[in-house]
Every structure is written in structure tokens, then in C-alpha cells.
Amino acid sequence: MDKVITIQQAVASVRDGMTLMIGGFMTAGTPETLMDALVATGAKELTVICNDTGFPGKGIGKLIVNKRIKKLLASHIGTNPETGRQMTGGETEVTLIPQGTLAERIRCGGAGLGGFLTPTGVGTVVAEGKQVITIGGREYLLELPLRADVALLKAYKADKMGNLVYRRSSRNFNPLMAMAADLVIAEVEQVVETGELDPDEFMTPGVFVHHMVLGGDEAWREAAMTLCAG
């Protein structure tokens, strides 16, 4: 089964008000082509779950600058001053989550777990509104799982069945998010025939991936022309 679709088809799956997971760590492993196409569609009022918001003119930062995000759940926002400005100005609701906690909440969402206990954040603002459970004389926060309507990922290579291979540190949150969304779309740099990849190379099995798009400037220019014409 060939899971490759056009960028236009991919971003058409994202509608106003949806919850998105977007892979990446300071734009490494962020699906840049999909970010550009998503901005072009005008989708708004989005809830976005991600590690960070990139930079003002790069990655998820483009969604921030264009004010498409209503609610953000992230580990940090320090690389994008515009995110901080919108947060303090009340334009965007921002929930900051310790990075390990964020990763584990996503993993729980993908694994079908009801949550997990962690001492991280006990006695701080992180604990506000959360259940505190004492075990063996130590307090833990109950952290609940996270899931999304759509996950937008970035991979280095894939076969036509959607088995993904990431490149070095760009792997980051992508494999976790692939398991925690109802619809998973991966932007990939190259697609090979099924059977060309050794199964030991698979980092995200194709069973989790619904669609793929080819990334890169050439692909985006073609998509941008079509979107603008429409």
C-alpha cells in the first residue's frame, strides 16, 4: 500500500479547533513543509502539543507568528520571543510542562495508559490543579495522558508502507507522537520501495502512519502554487 499523498491533501485533514501534535526539538525533526502549508490553509484556533515553538520564522514559530494557535502545551518557549509575548498578553493560552513529563504523558496516550505518577513538580506551580498521591511517604503528581486529533511528524526515510527512519537527533518526540494521535502524517525526505529497508531499521512501524508527504523546497513550491491558486 502506497501511503504517499499530496501536501494539499495532508493539510486538508487539519480543521479549525483541532488538537495537533507536532514533532521536533528546536526545529530539528519538525515537518517544515507541512508547517508552511498549514499556515497557507488558514487553519486557526488550534491546540498544539509540542516540545517548543521553534523560532519566529521557522517551524512551529510560523504558526505562532500568524496567530493560528489558541492553546499551547510545550516544554519551553524561550527560543521564540513572540510566544512569550502572546502568553503574557493573554493572546495564547500556554501550559508549560517539564520535558520528561511531557514525553511520558504522550507515551501514556499512545500506550492506552490512564496516566503516571511523578515527583517532578511537587510543591511548585506545576502541581496546581493536579491530584497528589502519597506512596511510601513520598508525594507524587498524577499526570494524565495526552492525545491529539492529528500528529505531524518528520522522518528522514520511509518505505511505501509507512515504516519510518529518523536521522540522529531529529528523532526526538516523533516516535512517541506517532502512537498518540488519531491521524498520523509524516513528512519524509525520501520514499523507497517496500522491502528496501531492513526491518531492523524501522523506528516507527508503518502501522502507526496513515499518510506521508514528500518534504523539501521543491515539493513546497508546487504545493504553494496550488494553494494560492485555490
Q: Is residue 138 part of a domain?
A: no
Q: Is residue 214 part of a domain?
A: yes
Q: Is residue 120 part of a domain?
A: no
Q: Where are the alpha helices (DSSP H) in the chain?
A: 7-11, 32-41, 61-65, 81-88, 99-111, 174-178, 217-229
CATH number at residue 187: 3.40.1080.10
pLDDT of residue 228: 46
pLDDT of residue 60: 96
How many domains are contained in the chain?
Answer: 1
Q: Give the domain range for residue 162.
A: 7-113+146-229
Mean pLDDT of 123-133: 95
Q: Is residue 127 part of a domain?
A: no
CB of 141 within 8 A of CB of 119?
A: yes
Distance separating alpha carbons of residues 74 and 60, to the nearest angstrom: 11
pLDDT of residue 215: 86
Helix axes 32-41, 217-229, angle to 10 degrees: 10
- Asked whether the whole model's pTM tops 0.85, one would answer yes
For residue 111, the one-letter residue type is A
Mean pLDDT of 145-168: 96
Q: Is residue 49 part of a domain?
A: yes
pLDDT digits (tens, 9 = 90+) for 52-100: 999 998 999 999 999 999 999 999 999 999 999 999 999 999 999 999 9
pLDDT digits (tens, 9 = 90+) for 185-205: 999 999 999 999 989 999 999
Phi, psi of 18 (to 5 degrees): -75, 160
Mean pLDDT of 158-164: 95
Question: Residue 137: which pLDDT band, with cuts at 50, 70 and 90?
Answer: very high
Q: Is residue 137 part of a domain?
A: no
State the DSSP string of 93-138: EEEE--HHHHHHHHHHHHHT---EEE-TTTTSGGGTT--EEEETTE
